[in-house]
Structure 1
Amino acid sequence: MTGRYKAYPEYKESGIEWLGNIPKHWSVSKIKYITTFQVGWTPPTKEDANFDGENLWANISDLRERVIHDTNKKISDHAAKVASMDITPKGSLLYSFKLSVGTVSFAGKDMYTNEAIASFLKESKLPLAYLYYVLPKFVIENASTNIYGARILNQELICNAHLLAPTVDEAQQIANFLDHETAKIDTLIEKQQQLIQLLKEKRQAVISHAVTKGLNPDAPMRDSGVEWLGEVPEHWTVCRLKQVIKSGSSISYGIVQPGDPLDEGVPFVQTTNISQGNFDLDQLQKTTEQIARAYPRSRLEGGEVILGIRASIGAAYVVPESLRGVNLSRGVARIVLTPNVSSHYLVLYFGSGAVERYWGLSKQGSTFSEVSIETVREITITIPPVDEQEIICNITKNKLDKIDKIIEKSLEQTSFFEERRSALISAAVTGKIDVRNWQPPKTNTTEAA
C-alpha cells in the first residue's frame, strides 16, 4: 500500500503491540477522551402500540448505507418517553457493538436507536467523518472474547478503546481522502455485484428453459395446467412430486432436537450446510447415536436428493456416497425417487424460476421462512423420458459451468477490491501513509468542441 503513497517522514513507538509505529506528531488517546456517545433501548415488544408511530428507530439491520434516512421499524412518542430514550441527532455516527460489530452509518435524520448501537455525537474533538473510518478498526481491538470465541463489546470497553489522534485538520484531510478513494473502489465493487446478479439470473433462465421447455425448440407444446409452470413439451409427464417417490419411502425432514454439539457422534446436515453447499464430514455438527436412531427415515444412503425447507428454501443437492449414514436436521428434507426420475434432474428442476415462484407462494412462518413437507409433496414437476433427462442435465451442466466460472472470477475481483479498500483505510488511519498533501482531482468541466 505504501508503494503508491509516501510514508510520514518521522515515526515513534505507539506503545500498542498490534499498532506498531505511528507518525511522530500523532498521539495515542482513548475514545472517552475524544468523543462521547449514547446508547438507545428497545421498548417492550409485546406492546404493539409501541411500534405504531412515526419516530425513526434504528436497528443493526438498518446500518447498511453510509447515511440512514429511514428505518425498518418506527416507535411511538409514548414508547420513547417510557424508555427514557435520548434522541440521536441528525449527523451523529452510529456504531453497532453487538452481533454485526463495527458496522457504521450516519444518521440522516433525527432518530432513536436500540441498545446495540452507540451514537457518537457531533461534540467530538475529532471529526465524525474521520471516526467513521477509525472506529471499525480500533474499537474491536479492545473487545473481549466469549466462550465461543466471538468478540464482544460493552460501553466500558468502547470508552477505553485506543485510537490515534492527529490534528483536527489532518483528521479531516484523511476522511476526505478516504471518502474519495473508497467511493471509486465502491463503484468497482458495485459493478461486479451487478454483473454477478445478471449472471445468476442468466443461470436460472438456462435452467428454467431446460426443465420446462426442453432442448428441442421444435417440440410440440401443451398447457401444463399449472399457472406458474406454463407450457411444457407434449411428450413430457406432469405430476406431483409425491407420485414419483420410491415405494416404501417418504419425503422426511430430520432431527428436531439434536442436543448440544458433540466432538464424536452421528453427523447431520443443517440448513447452514445447505446454504453454503459445504458437506465436509469434519464440518458437520454431531448428535448422539440414540437421537439419530429415532430418525431412520432421514438417514442418508447416497444418491438421493436433499432439499432445504427452512431458511435456505429450495437449495437442493444430490447426496454424495461419502455422506452415507449421515442424518439431517429439521430444516432439511430427504427425497428418494422412483427409477424414472433422475436425482440430478430433480435438483436441476428445483433451481428453476418456476419452482422459486412456487416456494414464494408457499412460504410460512414469521420468525423465519419455511415450507412444509406437504408443500414439497404437492409441488408439480415435469418429467421428460429418462434418456432425455440425462441429456438435459449434461448439456445444461456444460452451460452452467461456463457461467459459474465467470461468476467465480467476478467474486474474486470483488474480494480483491474489498481487501484493497480495507487495506487503504487501515493504512490511512494508522499513519502508514501520509495524505496531508493529497488533493482531489480537478473535475474537467470543459465540454468537447
Structure 2
Amino acid sequence: MSRRIPLKRVAQIRYGLGQPPPLSDDGIPILRATNIARGKITENSLLRAKVEDLPLERAPLLQEGEILVVRSGAYTGDSARITREWAGSAPGYDLRVTPQTIDSRYLAYALLGTSVQDQINLASSRAAQPHLNAEELGEMQLWVPPLGDQQRIANFLDAETARIDHVLERRARQILLLDGACVSRAYDAVRGGSVQGVRKESGLSWLGTVPDSWRVAAVSHLFEVELGKMLNQERARGSHLRPYLRCANVQWDEIETADLLEMDFPPDEQPRYRLRKGDLMVCEGGSWPGRAAIWGGEIAEIYYQKALHRIRPRGGDLTRWLYYCLLVAEKMRVFAVQGNSSTITHLTLEQLRPQRFPFPEIDTQRRIVMELDQAAEKDRALRQKLLKQQELLAERRQALITAAVTGQFDVTTCSCPPAA
C-alpha cells in the first residue's frame, strides 16, 4: 500500500558526524554544494583539502548508498546519491537509509521530485538566507510505495534519465564545439590567415605572422581607453541619478540591461562617463576579466562604473575589429600569462592600454568584421536552438521523475533491467 510519510521515518539525518575520511598526503577530495547537480555528483572544480585544513568531524566519510543534501546557500535542497566513498563538506546533510524500508535510489529520485522540492523551497525561504534545518528536512512528506515497486521505479528512472542525460551531454558538447569554432574562426581572421602575399612576424608570440601591410599597434595608439566612475555608498544617492553599466551587465558580445542600477552623475561628470553607441566595453575585474561587448545605444542616456573600460576610436579603426582581437586574446589566456598567474583577477588600465594587436587597413577591417559577424549570427541561432533543446530535455527529465515518484503513472510493470 502506497502512503505519504515524513522523510525521518525512512532515513537517519546526520550532519558533521560519522567516520572521518582517510588520511592522504595528496589531500582529501571534498564534495561541496557546487559539485551537486541534477541528482549527480560532478568533479568540476573539486576541492582537495589537507587534514590540517579542516576539522575531520565536519568532513565525514560518505558511504555508497547514502544521500547528500545541501543545507544552505544558493544550492539549498539539491541532493545526490553517493556512488563511491567521498568526504562531505559542512554545508551538507548525510541521509543514511534502512534498506529494508526504502531503496536509496528511489529516495534519491523522490528528493528531486517537484513535490519535495516545493516543500524544501518553502521551508528554506523562511530564513534571511536559504537554509534548511534538520527538523524541517525530516518532516518532508514522501510518497512511498512498497519496496518492490520502489525498486522497479528506480530501475525505470535509471534507464530513462540515462537516455536523457546522454542527449544533454551531446548537446553540451555541441555547444562547446560551436564556441570553439567561433574562436578558431576569429583567430584565423585577426592574423590574416586567408590573406595572400608576403607575411611578417607580428612580434606577438600567441599570434605568429601577419600580412606584411598590416600594422601592429598598441590599443592606446588607436583608441581612447578610460575607466568608469568609482561607486561608493554616497554616490548611490543624489539629485542626478542615472543608469550605469557594471561588469555583470557585460557578457561576451552582449550587454544586458534588465537589471541596471543607478548612480549620481552630476552635470560636470556626464560628458566623461556618458556612453556613445559603438563604445567597446571591457571588464576590468569581476568573474571574467577581458570579457567584452559593444554598446548598441539601446538606452539614450547611460554611464559606466569603474570596473569597466570604455574604448573609443581616435580615428577610423573599428571597435568591432578590436572586439575580435580581445576575444581571441582572452580565450588564448594572453592576459593570464602576462599576469603570471593561472587566474588573473584584473585586466588593469596599465595592462590594457599597451596591449598590441594587428590592424589591417580600415576597409579590410570592415570586410573581415562583416564576415565574422555573419558567421557569428548563424552560430548564435544554432546555439539558441541547442540551448532550447537542453531546456526542454531538462523539463522532460524533471517531469518524468516527479510523475514516477508521486504515483502519477504506473511503472510497476516496467521491464527495465536494474542499473549497472
Shorter-chain TM-score bucket reads 0.7 to 0.9
Q: After the TM superposition, which residues 167-178 of structure 1 pair with which residues of structure 2 at under 5 Å, given as runs?
A: 167-178=146-157
Report the Cα distance in structure 1 between the residues aligned to 2:48 and 2:117, rounded to whole angstroms: 27
- Name the stretch that deviates more: 357-366 or 53-62: 357-366
Given the alignment of the two structures, is residue 58 of structure 1 paired with residue 58 of structure 2, yes or no?
no
Residue of structure 2 in register with 1:229 after alignment: 207
Residue of structure 1 in register with 2:80 after alignment: 105
Q: After the TM superposition, which residues 179-218 of structure 1 pair with which residues of structure 2 at under 5 Å, given as runs?
A: 179-213=158-192, 215-216=194-195, 218=196
Residue of structure 2 in register with 1:430 after alignment: 406
Shift of residue 208, structure 1, vs aligned partner? 1.2
Given the alignment of the two structures, is residue 371 of structure 1 paired with residue 347 of structure 2, yes or no?
yes
Residue of structure 2 in register with 1:166 after alignment: 145
Report the Cα distance in structure 2 between the residues aligned to 1:208 and 1:419, rounded to whole angstroms: 37
TM-aligned CA distance change 1:85 to 1:100, over 3 Å: closer
The counterpart of 2:111, out of the listed 92, 117, 135, is 135
Given the alignment of the two structures, is residue 33 of structure 1 paired with residue 21 of structure 2, yes or no?
no
TM-score, normalised with respect to structure 1: 0.79
TM-aligned CA distance change 1:29 to 1:53, over 3 Å: same
Given the alignment of the two structures, is residue 344 of structure 1 paired with residue 317 of structure 2, yes or no?
no
Counterpart contact for 2:223–2:314, Cα < 8 Å: yes
Residue of structure 2 in register with 1:89 after alignment: 63
CA RMSD of aligned residues (A): 3.5
Structure 1: gaps spanning 5 or more residues? 1-24, 42-49, 443-449
TM-aligned CA distance change 1:282 to 1:241, over 3 Å: same
The counterpart of 1:391, out of the listed 367, 386, 390, is 367
Report the Cα distance in structure 2 between the residues aligned to 1:325 and 1:131, rounded to whole angstroms: 54
Counterpart contact for 1:267–1:281, Cα < 8 Å: no
Shift of residue 386, structure 1, vs aligned partner? 1.1
Report the Cα distance in structure 2 between the residues aligned to 1:154 and 1:367, rounded to whole angstroms: 36
Residue 90 of structure 1: SS of its match in structure 2? coil
Residue of structure 2 in register with 1:12 after alignment: none
Residue 251 of structure 2: SS of its match in structure 1? helix
TM-aligned CA distance change 1:280 to 1:228, over 3 Å: closer
- Name the stretch that deviates more: 334-343 or 354-363: 354-363
Report the Cα distance in structure 1 between the residues aligned to 2:128 and 2:373, rounded to whole angstroms: 40
Residue of structure 2 in register with 1:5 after alignment: none
TM-score, normalised with respect to structure 2: 0.84
Q: Residue type matched to 2:168 in 1?
A: I
Report the Cα distance in structure 1 between the residues aligned to 2:260 and 2:24, rounded to whole angstroms: 40
The counterpart of 1:408, out of the listed 358, 362, 384, is 384
TM-aligned CA distance change 1:165 to 1:268, over 3 Å: same
Identity %: 21
Residue 77 of structure 2: SS of its match in structure 1? coil
Counterpart contact for 1:134–1:163, Cα < 8 Å: yes
Residue of structure 2 in register with 1:446 after alignment: none
Q: After the TM superposition, which residues 434-449 of structure 1 pair with which residues of structure 2 at under 5 Å, given as runs?
A: 434-440=410-416
Residue 95 of structure 1: SS of its match in structure 2? strand
Q: After superposition, give the CA deviation of every residue in 1:371-421 in whole Å (9 maximum; x if it has no partner).
A: 222221121111111111111111221122222222222222222211111
Provide the aligned length of Structure 1 versus Structure 2.
405
Report the Cα distance in structure 1 between the residues aligned to 2:135 and 2:269, rounded to whole angstroms: 48
Report the Cα distance in structure 2 between the residues aligned to 1:370 and 1:157, rounded to whole angstroms: 43
Report the Cα distance in structure 1 between the residues aligned to 2:53 and 2:376, rounded to whole angstroms: 55
Residue of structure 1 in register with 2:297 after alignment: 321
Residue of structure 2 in register with 1:307 after alignment: 282
Report the Cα distance in structure 2 between the residues aligned to 1:320 and 1:348, rounded to whole angstroms: 16
Report the Cα distance in structure 2 between the residues aligned to 1:164 and 1:93, rounded to whole angstroms: 17
